[in-house]
Amino acid sequence: MSKAPRIVAELGRPETPAEAAARKAESSRIYRSSQTFRNLIAALIVTVAVVAVIVFAVPRGEPAPRPAIDVAAVAADVSSTVQRPVIVPDVRDGWRVNAAELESSAPAVWNVTLAPTGERERGFIRIAQAFGADVSWAPQRLSGMAPTGSTEIAGRDWDVYDLGARGTANVSYALGIQAGPDYVLLYGSLSADSTAEFAESLSPQITDLEEAE
């Protein structure tokens, strides 16, 4: 005896073969969609896990420290090149040399950039020894500013450049002096007192430059 067709509640009658086929096709589509979504989530989890392993498992060392600059050795080469003494700051007592180089300009300039270490104030100071130059050269480094005054340091009169509102975060104060045939400029972001203290430490070398004229 054949089984009576199933009554579909939504239709109130047995479904036709076409309706049954459509229902089965829709069920298959929904199943496949759910499987695809599950596979996508699984793949995403695996990808995240692989990335995490790479990030945490691969060793990452600290960047290699920048080699220290032997300012005395560089200064000796520059002195030999220009055939005259050059300023060599004493970096043993709380200073770090960030740069030391001969600038091939007109005039040529010996530049040394230092930053204080330890408990000193933050900032930097640069020594610029302009060969065969005078006070008229300094404004090239100081936004066109001429000396605003003078101050006595270790028995010498230094030109003062207080940039004030014309200063920047990098350069706010400077001291300069004629040292024999050269003009020596100390400029940067340190306070007036710290710059004067540094200038005083260079006094014996200023004497050497004067005597070498």
Over residues 108-144, the pLDDT tens digits come to: 999 999 998 877 678 999 999 999 999 999 999 998 9
Tell me if 123 sits within 8 A of 144, measured CB to CB. no
Same domain? 115 vs 194: yes
Q: For 99-102, which contacts have Cβ atoms below 8 Å and span 24 or more sequence positions?
A: 99/69, 100/69, 100/71, 100/74, 100/75, 101/74, 102/78
Please give, one letter per residue, the 3-state secondary structure of the chain.
CCCCCCEECCCCEECCHHHHHHHHHHHHHHHHHHHHHHHHHHHHHHHHHHHHHHHHHCCCCCCCCCCCCCHHHHHHHHHHHHCCCCCCCCCCCCEEEEEEEEECCCCCEEEEEEEECCCCCCCCEEEEEECCCCHHHHHHCCCCCCCCEEEEECCEEEEEEECHHHCCCCCCEEEEEEECCEEEEEEECCCHHHHHHHHHHCHHHHHHHHHCC
pLDDT digits (tens, 9 = 90+) for 8-53: 555 556 667 766 676 777 677 676 666 666 776 777 787 777 777 6
Same domain? 89 vs 20: no
CATH number for 203: 3.40.1000
pLDDT digits (tens, 9 = 90+) for 74-102: 999 999 999 999 999 988 778 889 999 99
Q: 44 is in which domain, residue-wise?
A: 7-57
Tell me if 162 sits within 8 A of 148, measured CB to CB. yes
Same domain? 123 vs 176: yes
pLDDT the model gives residue 168: 65
Residue 11, domain member (yes or no): yes
Q: Please classify residue 41 by burial: count the beta carbons closer than 10 Å to its beta carbon, then call 0-12 exposed, 13-18 middle and 19+ buried.
A: exposed
Same domain? 88 vs 186: yes
Same domain? 76 vs 138: yes
pLDDT digits (tens, 9 = 90+) for 12-21: 566 677 666 7
Same domain? 98 vs 190: yes
Number of domains in the chain: 2
Tell me if 186 sits within 8 A of 127, measured CB to CB. yes
Residue 36, domain member (yes or no): yes
